[in-house]
Chain A
Amino acid sequence: MSGNSALKRSRVRSAWLFLAPMLVVLAMVAGWPLLRTIYFGFTDANLADLGAMKFIGWDNYLARYDGEWSGLLVDLLWWRSVSNTLWFTLFSVTIETILGFVVALVLNAEFPGRGFVRAAVLVPWAIPTIVSAKMWGWMLHDQFGVINDMLMRVGLIHAPIAWAANSETAMWTVVMVDVWKTTPFMALLILAGLQMLPGDIYEAARIDGINPVKVFFRVTLPLVRPALMVAIIFRALDAMRIFDLIYVLTSNSRDTASMSVYARQQLVDFQEVGIGSAASTLLFLVIGIVTVLAITLGKVRLTAEPA
């Protein structure tokens, strides 16, 4: 027993030794900026002169001046950006999951040139977001955009639509471009899950003559669910931080501003490092809450399941 625990102790020691560099780097590049941002959120820091900041407690979140409430928690624009972000996340991730699943099923089938198609599908995802957002911005332009021209030629619309400018279409435009860009990522993750499935179950189903739709819902879906849930949570976390796509397509427009766009506008355009940091802290909390909810409600196990 005692020899065993000495061995264990030395193992634990070397484990910490090996982990230490990574933990130090993580604390420096992730922990420190995070703590500093949270700290800035309690100050009146201004970008023009960071040295002159004062600690002001919760005033950036909620304060009362001359009988009126002010601060982020009562700022309608902040809550609008929260709802924009959640709306965007819900629709883009749902559509991406469904389309991604379809693409993954197709790529999972045996056909000639499968390797090439698998690589080709990834192209939209490989293009930097700034480039693809700008590209879509031009294609969707109301005067010289190719999309309006095509739709007019086939007679689907009569007048060009200003996709990114019109407040009714702006959010859908952003979702559409995001779906175009990120479906390949979902497809890839789901495909990886599909390839882990044991072939003998399908063989048994085929021998029993079960119809393919039933096989999909009774066999494929339940088996691939853990991988699918991880993919969805990954995507949702990513979608809630959305910034570049929205900023390039619609700049600071209030119709589409996400939480990140709001925080950046405060931080940079208005130089309010304090309020911007408070908004970033709230963004961090919102994402944290949604993640915890998703993991509990979806009963996802992030650790490997015992076989």
Chain B
Amino acid sequence: MSFHASGRLVTTMSISALALGLSLTGFVAKAAEISISCGAVGAELEFCKQGVEAWSKKTGNTVKIVSTPNETTERLALYQQILASGTSDIDVFQIDVIWPGILGNHFIDLKPYSKGAEADHFKPIIDNNTVGGRLVAIPWFTDAGVLFYRKDLLEKYGASAPATWQELTATAAKVQEGERKAGNDKFWGYVFQGKAYEGLSCDALEWIDSYGGGAIVDDKGGITVNNPKAAAALTMAASWIGKISPDGVLNYAEEDARGVFQSGNAAFMRNWPYAWALGNGADSPIKGKIGVVALPKGGDAGKNTGTLGGWELAVSKYSKHPEVAADLVMYLTSRDEQKRRAIEGSYNPTIAALYQDKDVLSAVPFFGSLYATFTNAVARPSKVTGSNYNKVSSAFWNAVHDVLSAKTKPEAALVSLDSELKKIKRSGW
């Protein structure tokens, strides 16, 4: 502790001595060094670097990029430790759409810096990022779960993109059987995120919502997850394991699923839109063979849905250069930068106008066809459950994981999940 503090003191002293020297010689030191934490899922880090470099060149400030763990659950744990210690080590944080409620206290209000730019972004996300009247984060890209499929294989087996989960199950089984007979014994029908972590909460929420089974907790804070429609959704998902999905899917996060799909060993995949640009990259074995549709409905009476995901940029209130950091945030979330990221990396813009942009639509056609999915995505109950969201989500993904690994029956799992959630809620969220 003391070593650290004295080390920092020396640094501070030498920096101020340097600044003094500069100002004495007439160079007022305007350029600051700040740091930003960027995700590294797929090509995320690369895109972050390019954007940040362009801003550095424009403003003369230097930026250090801190890469963070791939899994959201682990990333949140890291952020909580960094922010709770009140250090100024990271100025700009890339945060998940579900975190403003959990971390909001540690971030500055960006309204004075945004100059009204938030009006161009999707309103639900801006609302989500407004905590107690303060705009704690600006949307960077949005996400919704979508279904990726192999156009070539569906054509080969005379199937069309599935409209319901039942169709998906049948088609996946058919393609899997055919491909295995053709000699690829590693081939699977469907891969998704089944590991016991936040990603499973996203996937399972989609199954339940597609059956009309609600969003675990409703807007008013009532616990709704124990219902027959949710049970039907979980029964269906459990029937996939070992049949059309590998047992290992119980330990897959986004990149594991993409690994299987992109190496040509799966017919369907549930993932976020970023997988489109990578799957169509020059080195991808399935380049040009990928189709994207909305996730299937839960039976004919169900609906298409997708869990709202996405990432925001926030400025730490412990930052030494909040105005410089806010300027970087405004640059990265600007229309031009979002357009570049949409075209080159298939990251969904949060600015509605970009969904009508010709260049964007020709690079990523499904941004046009799935516009409704992206704007009507189902939100996880992070706003209503606030700082308890993590416990709710953990209870939920563990219950679902137990069902998928056939340790409990869906109905029994939902009953015990219900009582676990009531215990967490106790006297209110």
Q: Which residues of A contact B (CB under 8 A)?
A: 46-50, 65, 68, 70, 141-144, 160-162, 164-167, 250-254, 265, 268-271
Contact = CB atoms under 8 A, between A and B. Distances in A.
A251 B196 CA distance: 8
A240 B300 CA distance: 52
B405 interface: yes
Nearest to B398: A254
B247 A165 contact: yes
Given A251-B71, A269-B73, 13 more contacts: A47-B80, A68-B423, A144-B259, A161-B247, A162-B248, A166-B405, A167-B405, A250-B251, A268-B81, A269-B77, A270-B390, A270-B394, A271-B80
A269 B260 contact: no
A143 B265 contact: yes
B186 interface: yes
A152 to B, nearest CB: 9
18 contacts: A46-B387, A47-B80, A48-B80, A48-B84, A70-B423, A142-B247, A143-B265, A164-B251, A165-B250, A167-B407, A251-B73, A251-B195, A252-B73, A252-B196, A254-B398, A269-B76, A269-B390, A271-B387
A252 B260 contact: no
B247 A162 contact: yes
Nearest to A170: B251
Contacts of A141: 248, 256
B178 interface: no
Interface string B224-249: 00000000000000000000001111
Given A48-B84, A269-B390, A65 B426 contact: yes
Contacts of B197: 251-252
Given A268-B77, A269-B73, A142 B405 contact: no
B248 A165 contact: yes
Contacts of A251: 71, 73-74, 195-197
B391 interface: yes
Contacts of B102: 48, 271
B265 A269 contact: no
B35 interface: no
A48 B387 contact: yes
A168 to B, nearest CB: 9
By Cβ-Cβ distance, the 4 closest A-B pairs, closest first, are A142-B248, A165-B251, A162-B248, A165-B250
A50 B105 CA distance: 13
Given A70-B423, A251-B196, A251-B197, A47 B84 contact: yes
B394 A269 contact: yes
A6 B322 CA distance: 66
B14 to A, nearest CB: 28
Interface in B18-54: none
A166 B405 CA distance: 7
Contact of B260 (A70, A143, A162, A166): A143
B248 A160 contact: yes
Contacts of B259: 143-144
Contact of B105 (A49, A162, A253, A265): A49
B273 to A, nearest CB: 23
Nearest to B388: A270
B186 A270 contact: no
Nearest to A164: B251
A13 B391 CA distance: 55
Nearest to A264: B77
Given A49-B105, A252-B196, A166 B247 contact: yes
Contacts of A144: 259
A48 B81 CA distance: 9
Nearest to B427: A65
Interface in B394-429: 394, 398, 401, 405, 407, 423, 426
Contacts of A160: 186, 246, 248
A53 to B, nearest CB: 13
A117 B84 CA distance: 48
B386 to A, nearest CB: 10
A270 B80 CA distance: 10
Nearest to B242: A159
Interface in B255-312: 256, 259-260, 265
Contacts of B391: 270
Contacts of B405: 166-167
Contacts of A142: 246-248, 251
Interface in B70-90: 71, 73-74, 76-77, 80-81, 84
Nearest to B77: A268
B382 to A, nearest CB: 14
A230 to B, nearest CB: 33
Contacts of B265: 143
Contacts of A167: 405, 407
A167 B71 CA distance: 21
B93 to A, nearest CB: 15
A68 B424 CA distance: 13
A253 B246 contact: no
Interface in B54-76: 71, 73-74, 76
Contacts of A46: 387
Contacts of A268: 77, 80-81
Given A142-B246, A254-B398, A162 B251 contact: yes
Nearest to A168: B405
B262 to A, nearest CB: 12
B392 to A, nearest CB: 10
A48 B246 contact: no
| A47, A165, A254, A265 — most chain B CB neighbours (10 Å) | A165
A15 B250 CA distance: 59
A74 to B, nearest CB: 11
